Chains A and B, each alone.
Chain A
Amino acid sequence: MIFRIFRKELLDTLRDRRTLMTMLVIPILVFPITLNVFMEVSNSFQESASAKTMKIGIVGDKSQSYTQQLEAIPAAIGPKKIIVFKDSAALRAAIETDEIQLGLLIPANEKQLGAQQQTITLNWLLDASELGRAERAELYAASLKANAEAERLQKLGLRPEQIRPLVVNTVNCASDKKMVGQLAGGFLPYIFIAFGFIGCMYPAIDLFTGEKERGTIETLLTVPISRWKILIGKMLVVVSSGMLAASCALMGLFISIEFLDLADNKELLEVIHSILTPYFILSMFALLLPLVIFFAGLMIPIAIYAKSFKEAQSIITPLNIVVVLPSMVGFFPGVALDINTVFIPVINVVLATKELIADTLSWGYFLSVFGIMCGLAFLAIAISYKQFGKETNILN
């Protein structure tokens, strides 16, 4: 009988456009669309920035050697045009009016410093708020620096390695999976939790508050079925909606990575593929299912208590922030699953999922998080049942 109630409620829910949007359409499309738009905009900015002719201002005749060096830099970095200015004030003014995009200030005693083998300080003038200018200045500066170093070493009759006795390299021993787990591992549970919560929200309100508002609850409660069966049948739909929304969001993210070239790094793609094994997916769902039941158990008593859709929405929406914000803890480095964090709902699931991605989650912690979340889910069901049994709640 629970399944019969579930079947009817699911059919009813799937015919609700609003729920369908939050459960299927938005989660599937949000990542491909937003990430694609983001990438397109970012690429187009970069392209236009690199295609744009960079006007570089230099002061006076003393700049001749630098002008030549800049001219010699390959155009692959981006087109450029050198303009000579009379003084530094005119150079600054030209930067401010965007007449030129980069200005090179050379010290007046540059030749003297060079002759004395002193350090020459060059200053780039630029508007750093404009995209791509600082990067272009760095590239030009690197070229000028390399030229100056080579010239001075030649004068001194030295080879580069003679003045660089030590080179220190850092070798990362962490596996690629661990790196991905640490750097991006917080993102996956965050998506799942955020969409799991949103996915539960509308069905919970519709199946409980909506039923009161539409006047169908009286009819339903007069059938010879116990209330806990009705509650569980409805709750299953709420949980399924949450899981479906979260799964759709992940699917959308996967489509974005796989087909929209968001991760064009081949090695990174291989790591992502090696993470997404059936074992990982099953383990992640095992951690997230009790969490979504817990969400449903938080929302259902509110939905039962509320007298109108609006009232339920006004209580549950702020709850969204309270529940989803802790899931952002996964983004912070250094926060790990331990004897304290394992007891904090939401955070424990985020950290466990992060470790699951990094392949460092122990069975002990996995079972602890699963057990704690199952306990909380059971408690949430019990509270929902108590609320559903209150005649003043269900009949307004």
Chain B
Amino acid sequence: MISVQNLHKTFALTKQQRKELNTEAKTATAVSDLSFSCQPGRIYSLLGPNGAGKTTTLRMLATLITPTSGKITINGINALEQAQEARKHIGFLTGSTGLYARLTPLEIIDYFADLYQVAPKEREERKAYLFDLLNMNDFLHKRIGKLSTGMKQKVSICRTMIHDPSVVIFDEPTSGLDVITAENIIKLIRSCKDQGKTVIFSSHIMSEVDLLCDDLAIIHKGQLKFNDTMSAFRANMVTNNLTEEFIRIVQMPTPLA
């Protein structure tokens, strides 16, 4: 389970950035006063246009960056005070995730299994399960640099799931992928839900969100504009389709929830 309370993140702006943004302000607010929770066995979607603060939020959940203020709890663990303990429960995958091109998939998976301190017996079981599930056995010993995008994505998924995390964070996981490769990700997200994991994923594509999510948050300029179930979103729609409704909410001056 993920619980977020009054999350706030500001970044200091360099002179160059102030010039580019045409502002005198010394800081920029990426996320402002976010509060939400994600339940196990449900898929929580963070929807918002580019630059809305989705990636910053997910990076804070994954303990990659520290919030300016607020509280994050992962499975009851305070992620700010016990970041390392919280990371043991988290699997993090982004659309822009890279892999070590000079290593083989097997070497990468073993490396991350070591870093997550997965016990030898459990590791072998997880590897066998994931390699079969993702159909990876044919290219386990080839260097990453020689694999196709689809194969690389499978390795990324396997790396994310090797320690069997109970909380999975996906940051625009299908971004830049073809439909067949993206389908692997969709399957993975559904499979995580079926296994009772807590899943949060960000996207700027309404159709993808519609396909997967149980709970929806719409974020714009770092502020939460909507936070409820997907069925509540559909029930309260005032426009003709989901995309139009998303645009309407984003353009509303004050937060709904």
- Output the least CB separation between A231 and chain B (Å): 14
CB–CB A225/B62 < 8 A? no
CB–CB B115/A4 < 8 A? yes
- Output the least CB separation between A232 and chain B (Å): 14
| CA of A12 to CA of B144, assembled, Å | 12
| CA of A214 to CA of B96, assembled, Å | 9
Stretch from A215-223, A295-303, A337-345, A363-371 that touches the partner? A215-223
Residues of B within 8 A of A214 (CB): 98-101
- Asked if A270 lies at the interface with its beta carbon under 8 angstroms from chain B, I say no
| CA of A225 to CA of B107, assembled, Å | 18
- Asked if B129 lies at the interface with its beta carbon under 8 angstroms from chain A, I say no
Out of B96, B98, B99, B117, which one reaches A224, CB within 8 Å? B117
- Asked if B124 lies at the interface with its beta carbon under 8 angstroms from chain A, I say no
- Asked if B78 lies at the interface with its beta carbon under 8 angstroms from chain A, I say no
Additional A-B contacts beyond A214-B99, A218-B59 (16; CB < 8 A)? A1-B115, A5-B115, A8-B107, A12-B100, A214-B101, A216-B97, A216-B98, A216-B99, A216-B100, A219-B97, A222-B62, A224-B88, A224-B115, A225-B84, A226-B84, A395-B64
- Asked if B63 lies at the interface with its beta carbon under 8 angstroms from chain A, I say yes
- Asked if B127 lies at the interface with its beta carbon under 8 angstroms from chain A, I say no
CB–CB A223/B103 < 8 A? no
Chain B's closest residue to A4 (CB) is: B114
Out of B62, B87, B102, which one reaches A15, CB within 8 Å? B102
What sequence of 0s and 1s flags, for each residue 37-74 of chain B, a beta carbon within 8 Å of any chain A beta carbon? 00000000000000000000001001111100000000
Residues of B within 8 A of A391 (CB): 64-66
| CA of A299 to CA of B194, assembled, Å | 47
- Output the least CB separation between A257 and chain B (Å): 36
Give 9 A-B contacts (CB < 8 Å), ordered by A residue.
A1-B114, A4-B111, A11-B103, A12-B103, A218-B59, A218-B64, A219-B112, A222-B87, A223-B115
- Output the least CB separation between A10 and chain B (Å): 12
What sequence of 0s and 1s flags, for each residue 1-24 of chain A, a beta carbon within 8 Å of any chain B beta carbon? 100110010011001100000000
Task: Take A214-B98, A225-B84 as given contacts and tell me if A219 and B90 are in contact as well, using a CB distance cutoff of 8 Å.
Answer: no
- Asked if A392 lies at the interface with its beta carbon under 8 angstroms from chain B, I say yes
Question: Which of chain A's residues 180-228 have a Cβ closer than 8 Å to chain B?
Answer: 214-216, 218-219, 221-226
Q: Which residues of B contact A (CB under 8 A)?
A: 11-12, 59, 62-66, 84-85, 87-88, 90, 92, 94, 96-103, 107, 111-112, 114-117, 159
Which of the listed residues B84, B98, B114 has the most CB atoms from chain A within 10 Å of its own CB?
Answer: B98
What sequence of 0s and 1s flags, for each residue 53-72 of chain A, a beta carbon within 8 Å of any chain B beta carbon? 00000000000000000000
Chain B's closest residue to A1 (CB) is: B115
Q: Which residues of A contact B (CB under 8 A)?
A: 1, 4-5, 8, 11-12, 15-16, 214-216, 218-219, 221-226, 391-392, 395
Residues of A within 8 A of B84 (CB): 224-226
Out of A1, A11, A15, A395, which one reaches B65, CB within 8 Å? A395
Which of the listed residues A1, A15, A223 has the most CB atoms from chain B within 10 Å of its own CB?
Answer: A223
Chain B's closest residue to A212 (CB) is: B98
Task: Take A222-B92, A224-B115, A225-B115 as given contacts and tell me if A12 and B87 are in contact as well, using a CB distance cutoff of 8 Å.
Answer: no
Task: Take A1-B115, A225-B115 as given contacts and tell me if A218 and B100 are in contact as well, using a CB distance cutoff of 8 Å.
Answer: no
| CA of A309 to CA of B126, assembled, Å | 36
CB–CB A11/B107 < 8 A? yes
Residues of B within 8 A of A16 (CB): 102
Kindly list the 4 A-B residue pairs having the minimum CB-CB distance in the complex, ordered from nearest: A215-B98, A214-B98, A15-B102, A224-B87
CB–CB A215/B96 < 8 A? yes
